[in-house]
Structure 1
């Protein structure tokens, strides 16, 4: 949000709640809890924290001439990025997968449930 600019930051704030609710609705259609939506939104913060750790460690290692801290920060950055990537790919897989045809814990039917037609007289 800081590097994107003011209008992009406002847009990001405006769409975070609708995107979260749509993702939660889709997860409920496939009989899953909203925990995956929370983890998916937090995974971006994990990658950001890993990147910040990496940059700070590089600056500290450059000032001190130490290579041990650089290797540790590289591992932390790679680990955070891999975790965020795996969570994103799994979330995408779950969201693309068809919903349940049967009733689930969150509604009377899944996303593929077809309502009966009402006959008018």
Structure 2
């Protein structure tokens, strides 16, 4: 096995070994390899089981995905607050879509133009806020981390290996 295959396997094993560890830093491969592997597994399980097994697997990876995201954000010296906001905004967006649909159906049946107008104004605003949070978080997850040690330790994604010093006498 070559080095890149070892990196993929080690990154995925590390994803599960550190599934509740929010301390330290994770480099880009430690985040993105589990991301695409979990995407493939979820897709295949969805095809095989009509979504049931993929839903169970998605529940199983919620915590490890959150913790590796926190460690990835630590690599750029960010706190876990953004990961919390990112995950909560996803839940809130889902609830808002459900409330929007119910409000729109209710308002359509009662003929209330005020409720329809309110739903049509607030819906896009919350959607834009959610998209901005998602894009900013995605940018931080893709961007290189700090080269030097930061508040969360050393060993970042762009760490330069120490060069041996040669004494010239």
Structure 2: stretches of 5+ with no match in the other structure: 1-49, 164-169
- What TM-score comes out, normalization by structure 1 length? 0.84
Would you say how many aligned residue pairs link Structure 1 and Structure 2? Answer: 115
1:94 pairs with 133, 140, 143, which one?
140
Q: Distance between the aligned counterparts of 1:60 and 1:73, measured in 2?
A: 11
Coordinate RMSD, CA, aligned: 2.0
Aligned to 2:156: 110
Residue 80 of structure 1 pairs with residue 80 of structure 2: no
Cα deviation digits, residues 41-61 of structure 1 (max 9, x gap): 111112112211211111211
Structure 1: stretches of 5+ with no match in the other structure: none
Q: Distance between the aligned counterparts of 2:153 and 2:123, measured in 1?
A: 41
Once the 2 structures are TM-superposed, how far is the Cα of residue 5 of structure 1 from its aligned partner?
Answer: 4.3
Q: Is the 8 A contact 1:43 1:84 kept in 2?
A: yes
Cα deviation digits, residues 70-111 of structure 1 (max 9, x gap): 110122221221111111000011111111011100113432
- What TM-score comes out, normalization by structure 2 length? 0.62
